[in-house]
């Protein structure tokens, strides 16, 4: 009982030691159970809340971030979208103190990534060489859905390897072009990706995109606990958003073939059929919160 119930002493009544002792014991008991019954409204404020020194802190269970610091931009040659690259120097390593996520927790993963550019200087999403080159047949060519896909992955087993986030598409699949990564609305979602355009301007033989994208993933966990050991950031591409007759997909085409051939869109500009992708700075963060949902 957190409130104190007692009756007054009445003049004329015999002084009863047990009664008085009980009253004080009642106070002691109530003071041992400090709760909403004895604390006034607005009685708990910042001063009474424990300072955050690490560990769980309602509603913030955990937060951590990393960025590439002053690492130089990294060049990744021969990219086709068939494989993926883990961006170096940006990693959330929780191995020393793994993070346990319980049912009801909200996991928020944020990342930004800066696409410096690609080595296809004449790159244009509707095709190279503009409207007049090679005749009028290409002048009405539309822009295609080409971009670099940035995505995080995590390691939730120890030992174990990095896997896509819960119910996200198989973004780490190794493909042999032409091939697809299927997108659906249940177990192959693309909520966590950031789709970055390579459009830019010609400079010294490169196409300078100079573009930063921001991807997020919010997830209210259900079911058994999950332990997070590491989170990293990756990219693959260029990839193309399409419909393959059955599903939405992220498609890895054979570059310089089909509509990307030299006589059509010429992506990348011949003779090469692969891309050098330059990635600049990147940041990655994770925040786990606990609250009502």
Assess 219 for contact with another protein (CB under 8 A).
yes
Can you tell me which of 32, 70, 137, 161 binds another protein, judged by CB under 8 A? 137
Tell me the two tokens of residue 273.
């059929």
Assess 37 for contact with another protein (CB under 8 A).
yes
Can you tell me which of 89, 254, 264, 273 binds another protein, judged by CB under 8 A? 264
Q: What is the CA radius of gyration of the chain?
A: 30
Strand pairing report for 201-203 and 99-101: unpaired
The minimum distance between CB 264 and another protein, in angstroms, equals: 4
The minimum distance between CB 124 and another protein, in angstroms, equals: 8
Q: Name the segment binding another protein (CB under 8 A); options: 80-88, 90-98, 139-147, 271-279.
A: 139-147
Cis-peptide into 80, omega within 30 deg? no
Assess 261 for contact with another protein (CB under 8 A).
yes
Report the site for another protein in 66-105 (rule: CB under 8 A). Answer: 104
Can you tell me which of 90, 92, 101, 194 binds another protein, judged by CB under 8 A? 194
Assess 195 for contact with another protein (CB under 8 A).
yes
Check: CB of residue 123 under 8 Å from CB of residue 203: no
Residue 174 CA: distances (Å) to CA of 36, 85, 291: 57, 11, 38
The minimum distance between CB 174 and another protein, in angstroms, equals: 22
Can you tell me which of 77, 83, 98, 130 binds another protein, judged by CB under 8 A? 130
Tell me the two tokens of residue 212.
């930063």
Please give the backbone phi and psi of residue 30, each rounded to the nearest 5 degrees, phi first: -65, -35
Assess 191 for contact with another protein (CB under 8 A).
yes
**Contacts made by residues 165-173, CB under 8 angstroms, sequence distance 24+:** 165/109, 165/192, 165/217, 165/219, 166/219, 166/221, 166/226, 168/192, 168/217, 169/250, 171/84, 171/234, 171/236, 171/250, 172/84, 172/234
**Pick 69 or 292: Cβ nearer another protein:** 292
Can you tell me which of 32, 54, 142, 205 binds another protein, judged by CB under 8 A? 142
Q: Name the segment binding another protein (CB under 8 A); options: 74-82, 85-93, 214-222, 228-236.
A: 214-222
Q: Name the segment binding another protein (CB under 8 A); options: 66-74, 215-223, 226-234, 278-286.
A: 215-223
């Amino acid at each position: 009982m957190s409130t104190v119930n007692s009756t007054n002493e009445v003049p004329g009544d015999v002084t009863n030691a047990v009664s008085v002792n009980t009253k004080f014991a009642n106070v002691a008991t109530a003071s041992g159970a400090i709760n909403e019954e004895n604390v006034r409204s607005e009685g708990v404020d910042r001063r009474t809340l424990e300072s955050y020194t690490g560990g769980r802190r309602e509603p913030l269970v955990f937060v951590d971030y990393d960025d590439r610091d002053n690492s130089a931009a990294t060049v990744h040659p021969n990219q086709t979208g068939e494989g993926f690259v883990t961006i170096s120097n940006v990693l959330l390593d929780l191995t020393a103190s793994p993070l346990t996520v319980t049912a009801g927790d909200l996991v928020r993963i944020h990342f930004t990534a800066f696409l410096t550019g690609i080595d296809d200087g004449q790159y244009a999403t509707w095709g190279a060489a503009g409207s007049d080159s090679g005749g009028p047949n290409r002048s009405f060519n539309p822009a295609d859905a080409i971009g670099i896909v940035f995505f995080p992955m995590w390691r939730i087993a120890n030992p174990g390897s990095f896997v896509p986030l819960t119910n996200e598409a198989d973004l780490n699949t190794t493909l042999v072009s032409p091939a697809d990564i299927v997108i659906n609305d249940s177990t192959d979602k693309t909520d966590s990706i950031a789709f970055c355009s390579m459009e830019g301007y010609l400079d010294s033989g490169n196409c300078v995109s100079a573009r930063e994208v921001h991807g997020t993933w919010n997830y209210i966990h259900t079911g058994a606990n999950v332990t997070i050991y590491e989170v990293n950031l990756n990219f693959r591409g260029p990839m193309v958003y399409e419909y393959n007759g059955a599903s939405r997909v992220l498609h890895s085409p054979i570059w310089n073939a089909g509509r990307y051939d030299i006589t059509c869109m010429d992506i990348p500009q011949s003779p090469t059929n692969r891309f050098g992708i330059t990635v600049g700075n990147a940041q990655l963060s994770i925040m786990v919160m606990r609250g009502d949902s």
